[in-house]
Amino acid sequence: MTTTIQLRDVRVRLEDDGQGAPLLLLHGFPATRHLWSQVAPRLVGAGFRVLTPDLVGYGDSEAPVGVRVDMASQARWMFELLERVGAARPVVIAHDVGSAAAQLMVADRPESIRGLVVLDGVCGTEWAMAAIASIQAWAPAEAHRLYPVLGRRLAKSAALREMLATYQGEAGGRRLIRAARDLDPRETAGIGERLRASGVPALVLWGERDEFLTIEAVGQPLADLLNAPLVKLPGGHFTPLDCPTEVTDALGPFLASLPA
């Protein structure tokens, strides 16, 4: 079921499907909820309630002008969203910089999170910001030209093109520029000790061919920080689209191991 949830100052477009223990699936930059289009149905079929939002300011979720759409704000909005839809103590499964919001959720309220899974995510201040510097510097007056360039760089499959389609045109390009400019790696710079002390069970999944956030520089240090197993997957950066079967297969034993 696709729905729009009005929070205090923003609107969140949400896919809410299935019944059972809740899973919150978070995308990163420059993605949308469609990142999970091939994983979410498998998790619903496995007996979970799967919540897949567009982060605020991304895809079809909206924020007023002047409201920052940084990852610290996303973490707060996600807790509001969970409360609004009655989904207590979810497992948070997050990709790319969406994992910054997930890590902040764990660091701030570990008792509210049942488990954490990070796919090709961030660690400390390593957010692969060099990869989006050109988008941050893009002139808003030329926003309509951004999607074609992004498509040539990233949209190597029909699934990736569908995920990015919402950023076509001037309005879509402006949303993407705004989201890029609001990313701030300092938000996760000092949370390592709180993550270690959280006691939240964690799993780290990583694409073997990730060219933006490599296993050696980010994946393994993150797994060490979270005291989590690191599972390598046969994909690039966008593992939920590159290898959805392998992602789901890796999630299964972890989710089954979590205490109620």
CATH number of the domain residue 17 falls in: 3.40.50.1820
Q: Quick: pLDDT tens for 226-260.
A: 999 999 999 999 999 999 999 999 999 999 999 87
Give the relative orientation of helices 169-182 and 146-154 as an angle to the nearest 10 degrees: 70
Is 45 a member of any domain? yes
Q: Where in the sequence is the domain holding 6, given as residue range(s)?
A: 2-127+187-257
Domains contained in the chain, number: 1
CA 223 vs. chain centroid, Å, equals 17
In a domain, 85, yes or no: yes
Q: Which residues contact 37 (CB under 8 A, 6 or more apart)?
A: 159, 162, 163, 241
Q: Is residue 10 part of a domain?
A: yes
Percent of the chain residues past pLDDT 70, beyond the cut = 100
In the numeric block, which tokens belong to residue 171?
Answer: 């309005």
Q: Does an H or E element contain 226, and which? A: helix 220-226
pTM value is 0.97
Q: Does some domain include residue 150? A: no
Q: What is the pLDDT of residue 155?
A: 65
pLDDT tens across the length of the chain (260 residues): 999 999 988 999 999 999 999 999 999 999 999 999 999 999 999 999 999 999 999 999 999 999 999 999 999 999 999 999 999 999 999 999 999 999 999 999 999 999 999 999 999 999 999 999 999 999 999 999 999 988 888 767 888 888 999 999 999 999 999 999 999 999 999 999 999 999 999 999 999 999 999 999 999 999 999 999 999 999 999 999 999 999 999 999 999 999 87
Residue 34 belongs to some domain of the structure: yes
Assigned domain for 245 exists: yes
- Give the pLDDT score at 8: 87
118 found inside a domain? yes
pLDDT at position 150 = 87
pLDDT value, residue 153? 80
Amino acid identity for residue 224 in this structure: D
Assess if residue 106 is contained within a domain. Answer: yes
- Give the pLDDT score at 156: 72
Phi, psi at 91, each rounded to 5°: -85, 125
